[in-house]
A = this chain, B = another copy of it.
Amino acid sequence: MSTKARAKPQRDRHQEIVEAAAQVITDRGLAETRIQDIADRCGVSPGLILYYFGSKDRLLVEALTYANDQSYLRMSRELRKMPAASERMDRLIQLSVPGLLPEYALLDEWALWLEIWVRALRDPQMAKERENLDRRWVQSISEVIRYGRQTGEFPSDAADADDIAMEFGAMVDGLAIQVLLNDTVMTPARMHDICLDVARRLIGYDGAG
């Protein structure tokens, strides 16, 4: 029925390649990522990668944003299912600590943030994407705060939710970097404690110990 019946690809090559690229970047780092590696990862020839993306750079940017996108969506969906705002906040914090939950590849996701940042330094398109991605994460914090205030769970006399989210989000970034880089002092557990503590102080709720 479609004007351009393109029945062939059962498998979405574009998608497959982006996912493979994200994995390779995670494993080896952006600097050490070769087209060949990505091709190998999804059992395909190097030529095909270029056939779909034209250049390595275009693929890399898409892979970085895609991976981050997925993480965000996953968390977003999970939080929405939780009825209590405090529950959401606690979970959000858990999910922010690299390496705290073994079942999640949070180390990987944070590592990709670092790559995004460095690339954004000199690639305007990446810089724009980075801002969009970041904005969403901070917003999901302020949404939880607003939600809690709406339901009466959190006190409403504290500072502006957006300001709190910005401040809290920045601290999470800073702490996560240290944890990610295997700091001997800043362990996942310690970061978790600090985050809970600061969240309670800023938002004024009694989170899970």
Q: Could you tell me how many residues of chain A have their Cβ less than 8 Å away from some Cβ of chain B?
A: 38
Query: Which residues on B sit within 8 Å (CB–CB) of A194?
Result: 163, 166-167
Residues of B within 8 A of A131 (CB): 181, 183-184
**Number of copies of this protein chain within its complex:** 2
The digit string for A125-144, where 1 denotes a CB below 8 A from any CB of B, is 00100110011000000000
Instruction: For the complex, give the distance between the alpha carbons of A32 and B30 in Å.
Output: 13
**Stretch from A45-53, A85-93, A114-122 that touches the partner:** A114-122
- Contact (Cβ within 8 A) B174 A169: yes
Q: Which of chain B's residues have a CB closer than 8 A to the CB of A174?
A: 169-174
Considering the chains assembled together, what is the distance between the CA atoms of A169 and B120 in angstroms?
Answer: 23
State whether A118 touches B115 (Cβ < 8 A): yes
In the bound complex, CA of A200 to CA of B163 (Å): 16
Cβ contacts under 8 Å, A111 to chain B: 121
Contact (Cβ within 8 A) B167 A170: no
Q: A170-B171, A173-B173 are in contact. Are A29 and B178 (CB under 8 A)?
A: no
15 contacts between A and B (CB under 8 A): A29-B118, A29-B121, A111-B121, A114-B121, A117-B177, A127-B182, A134-B183, A170-B172, A170-B174, A170-B175, A171-B171, A172-B174, A173-B174, A173-B177, A174-B174
